[in-house]
Amino acid sequence: SFRCFSAISPELKTTIDKVVSSHKVILFMKGTRDFPQCGFSNTVVQILKSLNVPFETINILENEFLRQGLKEYSSWPTFPQLYIDGEFFGGCDITIEALKSGELQETVEKAMCS
């Protein structure tokens, strides 16, 4: 039988399910919150800091396995990737727009209360 080799394995999916749900707000980024290694990642870190919410960051440059897995898991080709309440929220541009519209604040508050 044929199998699509690019498809994410059930084991990896379960692992990622756990990782993205491990914190209310979790950012997969290039670098760390103190040393972002890309302007887009830095932008999202600054936005999250400005909201004054607790958030976790994971450096995808240090985990190629997770990096490739996440791209498929969220069907999103680039980093940073922001997850709120276990759900993919968006990349840098979406986060900027959502900050402007108030949607980000709303989603974060909802997650904190859930």
Least Å distance between CB 74 and another protein?
10
User: What does the DSSP assignment read for 61-110?
Assistant: GG-HHHHHHHHHHTT--SS-EEEETTEEEE-HHHHHHHHHHTHHHHHHHH
When binding is defined by CB under 8 A, the residue of 23, 90, 108, 111 that contacts another protein is 90
Nearest residue to 46 via CA among 29, 62, 59, 61: 29
d(Cα 86, Cα 88) in Å, to the nearest integer?
A: 7
Compute the least distance from the CB of residue 19 to another protein, in Å: 20
Q: How far is the CB of 10 from another protein (least distance, A)?
A: 23
75 scored as a contact of another protein (CB under 8 A): yes
Interacting span for another protein (CB under 8 A) from 8-16, 17-25, 55-63, 86-94: 86-94
Rule CB under 8 A: is residue 80 a binding residue for another protein?
A: no
C-alpha closest to that of 41 among 22, 60, 24? 60
Query: Least distance from C-beta 80 to another protein, angstroms?
Result: 12
| Binding of another protein by 91 (CB under 8 A) | yes
Specify the DSSP class assigned to residue 60.
Answer: G
Contact set with another protein (CB under 8 A)? 40, 75-78, 88-94, 97-98
